[in-house]
Amino acid sequence: MRLSQRLTQVPPYLFAQLDARKAAVVARGVDVIPLGIGDPDLSTPEPIIAEMRQAVGDPSNHRYPDYKGSLSFRQAAARYMLRRFGVTVDPERELLGLIGAKEGLAHLVWALVDPGDVTLCPDPGYPVYAVHTAFCGGFAYRMPLRAEHGFLPELSRIPTEIVERAKILFLNYPNNPTTAVADLEFFEEAVDFCRRYGIVLCHDNAYAEITYDGYHAPSVLEVQGAKDVAIEFHSLSKPFNMTGWRIGFACGNADAIEALGTVKNNTDSGPFTAVQVAAERALTQSEALVASQVSVYRRRRDRMVEALRAAGIAVQPPRGTIYLWCPVPEGETSEGFAGRLLEEAGVFVTPGTGYGQEGEGFFRISLTCSDDRLEEAARRIAALGSGG
């Protein structure tokens, strides 16, 4: 078969590749502890499941969904934005239901990027931004996220000729994979930057609800006038253990929402209406439903950080996300160390370079495994480090 050029240019999807490698080790009979993909191990909270059970029995929910998301889902999402962030969005013009944030992020690129255009993508970063830019014939300029700058991009250092061709600035805080957080001051700078150069600011806020130690992640739309340039993506996947349900929403600039809606109208038919009904319940009771997930991740984070530090890995406890971003031991590479962890210790982590070359020197651990298995993983990592 002769594949399209766009497909042959794109590297294989990171997680699919890693999964194949893990499967080969499992096939050898190794008990592999999966700390790779950020897919919550806990169940979706019962009130959401109960709502779904009822909604799925209602024949009116079996038909094609409203393309934009049902009005009541959009209203629930708008109420959530107001309650959680103090941000007002019009559910008719400034908010769109999505089949997960990933779908919306990908389709936004199709709405805005022509061949030769530039997008500004974090490195390391969630791969979807750069891959879809390549699909559209655009160029993904990789903005380094470095520890010495709190894993924030230095916008003023992006070359002018790149900025002038840029259509989208992608940001994502709390950040996957570095776990860094951003304050409103940084978002103000980013909004100013995008306004000055006519760039759409796309903030991926998929981890807004998973934060620790009294920290509350802001919305970029809290910045005065942000809606002139910004669109923000929210996901129900991580806070409510709903990765398989495929539901999220985008909100912000009405033109960007309309453009995204046009791509979607011609591509999909929106999320299953029953899932939207259940998601309304999740958004309406978010504080109560998220608290127990966060306390599980906090406990895992604390135990794992302590165990890794005892094993000589100087990891910082994150203020958000479900990950740990860990430095690899002196003298090793990300891929080499992740490969060694898999082959010699049966611990599956993602190498930092899987998210871009600036991820070199790090590996990512996902806290989506039971406490016992995490502790066993820490023991195996310690044994590997000591040669035992």
Ligand X SMILES: Cc1ncc(COP(=O)(O)O)c(C=O)c1O
Interface residues with ligand X (CB under 6 A) are 38, 100-102, 126, 172, 176, 204, 206, 235, 237, 243, 248
Q: Which has the closest alpha carbon to 368: 31, 44, 43, 41?
A: 41
Cα separations (Å) of 155 from 142, 152, 158, 168?
11, 9, 6, 13
Backbone angles phi, psi at 13, to 5 degrees: -60, 125
Closer by beta carbon to ligand X, 176 or else 179: 176
- What counts of helices (H) and strands (E) characterise the chain? 13, 12
The label of the residue with tokens 């150069």 reads: 197
Q: How many CB atoms lie within 10 A of CB 379?
A: 14
Half-sphere exposure of 83 (CA within 13 A, CB side): 11
Closer by beta carbon to ligand X, 123 or else 197: 123
Closer by beta carbon to ligand X, 236 or else 307: 236
Q: In terms of DSSP bridges, do strands 33-34 and 347-348 run parallel, antiparallel, or are they unpaired?
A: parallel
Closer by beta carbon to ligand X, 319 or else 380: 319
The C-alpha atoms of residue 201 and residue 207 are separated, in whole angstroms, by 17
CB of 244 to ligand X, least distance (A): 9
Closer by beta carbon to ligand X, 243 or else 334: 243
Q: Take residue 36 and report the two structure tokens written for it.
A: 């790779």
Residue nearest to ligand X (CB): 100
The label of the residue with tokens 């794992």 reads: 304
CB of 332 to ligand X, least distance (A): 25
CB of 323 to ligand X, least distance (A): 9
**Cβ distance 221 to 251 under 8 Å?**
yes
CB of 105 to ligand X, least distance (A): 6
| b (16+ CB within 10 A) / e for 283-315 | bbebeebbeebbebbbebbeebbebbeebebeb
Closer by beta carbon to ligand X, 244 or else 312: 244
Q: Take residue 42 and report the two structure tokens written for it.
A: 């806990």
The partner residues of 351 in beta bridges, in order of sequence, read 363
CB of 51 to ligand X, least distance (A): 19
Closer by beta carbon to ligand X, 179 or else 334: 179
The partner residues of 248 in beta bridges, in order of sequence, read 98, 235
CB of 156 to ligand X, least distance (A): 24
Closer by beta carbon to ligand X, 204 or else 345: 204
Closer by beta carbon to ligand X, 101 or else 311: 101
CB of 242 to ligand X, least distance (A): 8
The C-alpha atoms of residue 369 and residue 177 are separated, in whole angstroms, by 17
Query: 3-state SS string over 97-152?
Result: EECCHHHHHHHHHHHHCCCCCEEEEEECCCCHHHHHHHHCCCEEEEEECCHHHCCC
The C-alpha atoms of residue 355 and residue 15 are separated, in whole angstroms, by 10
CB of 101 to ligand X, least distance (A): 4
Which residue type sits at 181? V
CB of 340 to ligand X, least distance (A): 25
Closer by beta carbon to ligand X, 163 or else 282: 282
CB of 100 to ligand X, least distance (A): 3
